Amino acid sequence: MATFERNDSANGAPAAARYAHIVGWGMALPETAMSNDELSTFVETDDEWIFARTGIRQRYIAHEGESTATLAYRAAQQALEVADILPTELDLIVVATSTAENIFPSTASLVQDWLNAHDAGAFDLSAACSGFVYALNMAADSIRAGSITSALVIGAETMSRILDWQDRSTCILFGDGAGAVVLKASAAPGGVLASVLRSDGAGGDLLAIPSVGSIDAAASRAGGNGNKLYKMTMAGGEVFRFATRVVSESIEQASARAGIAVSDIDLVVPHQANLRILQAAARKLGIDIKKFMSNLEKYGNTSAASIPIALCEAIEAKRIQDDDHIALVGFGGGLTWACMIIRWGLPIPRKPQSSLLNRQRRHVQYRIAKWRSRSRRWRRRVNRRVQSMRD
């Protein structure tokens, strides 16, 4: 495979064309699934309503030992395995999430530490359910511009932690999970072709999770009508109408940018919010609903994780072949929406399994990561002691 040194054009020579290809993918789910019937034991709803109105049968819910970062880490390990690269080769880690471990440090920094990806920059990206497409676009642009060579892009969520479990209009919809891809620079044409990113902040109140700085949550603390801190609220009907409009619109716009017709798209991998949204979008675009990947039934809406999880399952189910045109399309809070067109095809022939030696090296690095992290903390503590004794 033709790969690149960082920053081809730094010496003044014209930069060779660079393309950003997805070369690895992985996903992770919590251990426990919760069915619609289980939900209906504590909130007034039933399997028939949920399935008919959304297409959801069950969702996965993180237990106490699982978190956004642990799910992201597991998905990342799988993606590195498929890509057969070492974590130390990564230049950038981006985690798209609305349920970050902390306001800071970022979930991406935790994953960077656990992977021993010591040469990677890391940050979280907030664009709700569109976050994964935003993050992928960002990473692909950095690769194409020549500032980085490889990136790990993750969508990870523990939505169960910000749901109001008494609100049947939202708690039935969401689930937890993570999906990840590895992007790499290559001279082989293809990969990420074009994207459209959009936002309409005037609709921000339609779907929201107030955090510490929120004026809305402050109103709630003062006994007013503000929304609860860290709890999601959604105007379902309005978000539904917005979603059906922007899915079809953004697919048309991104296809035009990529220089292809909508009919050239082989598979749409959409954000998994509601099967009826996907059906409406397929009707508007005049394309067969079979071209829309859907796994809502098993996972519900996992926000920023839903597209990479669906992509991962589509690849594993062999629904994506070389030279296929794939449309990733996300929509959600912000309001935000985004569509990306990818021409699929690995720039290197796929090995049946990642090489045994590299696999062992990755496992050694994960162990080293634990020791490295511990020893750094320990060194800092010792330094503090020494400093305080000197003072």
Enumerate binding residues for ligand UT7 (CB under 6 A): 45, 49-50, 53-54, 129, 168-169, 172, 236-237, 239-240, 243, 273-274, 277, 301, 303, 332
Q: Spell out where the chain has E strands.
A: 19-28, 32-35, 58-61, 92-96, 121-125, 150-158, 176-186, 191-199, 207-208, 233-234, 267-270, 325-332, 336-343
Output the residue with the shortest Cβ distance to ligand UT7: 236
- The CA distance from 117 to 283, in Å, is 44
Closest separation in Å from C-beta 33 to ligand UT7: 18
8-state DSSP, 172: T
CB of 136 to ligand UT7, least distance (A): 17
If the CB atoms of residues 233 and 354 are measured against ligand UT7, the closer one turns out to be 233
- Whichever of 142 and 336 has its CB closer to ligand UT7, that residue is 336
Minimum separation from the CB atom of position 131 to ligand UT7 (A) = 11
Q: Smallest distance, Å, CB 239 to ligand UT7?
A: 4
326: three-class secondary structure by DSSP? strand
Burial zone of 49 (CB within 10 Å; 0-12 exposed, 13-18 middle, 19+ buried): middle
Nearer to ligand UT7 by Cβ, of 118 and 198: the residue is 198
Q: Which residue has the tokens 């039935």?
A: 172
* Strand ranges across the sheet with 92-96: 19-28, 176-186, 150-158, 92-96, 121-125
Residue among 41 and 388 whose Cβ is closer to ligand UT7: 41
Tokens of 57: 């049968």
Q: Report the SS3 class of residue 389.
A: helix
Structure tokens at 121: 């920059």
Closest separation between CB of residue 307 and ligand UT7, Å? Answer: 11
**Whole-angstrom Cα distance, residue 241 to residue 235?**
10
* Shortest distance (Å) from residue 276 CB to ligand UT7: 7
**CB of residue 234 to ligand UT7, shortest distance in Å:** 6
Catalytic residue numbers, as ranges: 129, 271, 301
Q: Which is nearer to ligand UT7, 83 or 329 (CB)?
A: 329
Shorter beta-carbon distance to ligand UT7: residue 105 or 236: 236
What does the alpha-carbon distance between residue 155 and residue 68 come to, in Å, rounded to a whole number? 9
Supply the angle between the helices 306-316 and 131-145 in degrees, to the nearest 10: 70
Q: Which residues contact 86 (CB under 8 A, 6 or more apart)?
A: 80, 358, 361, 362, 365
The smaller minimum CB distance to ligand UT7, of residues 237 and 259, is found at 237
d(CA 331, CA 127): 9
Q: Do β-strands 121-125 and 150-158 pair in parallel, antiparallel, or remain unpaired?
A: unpaired
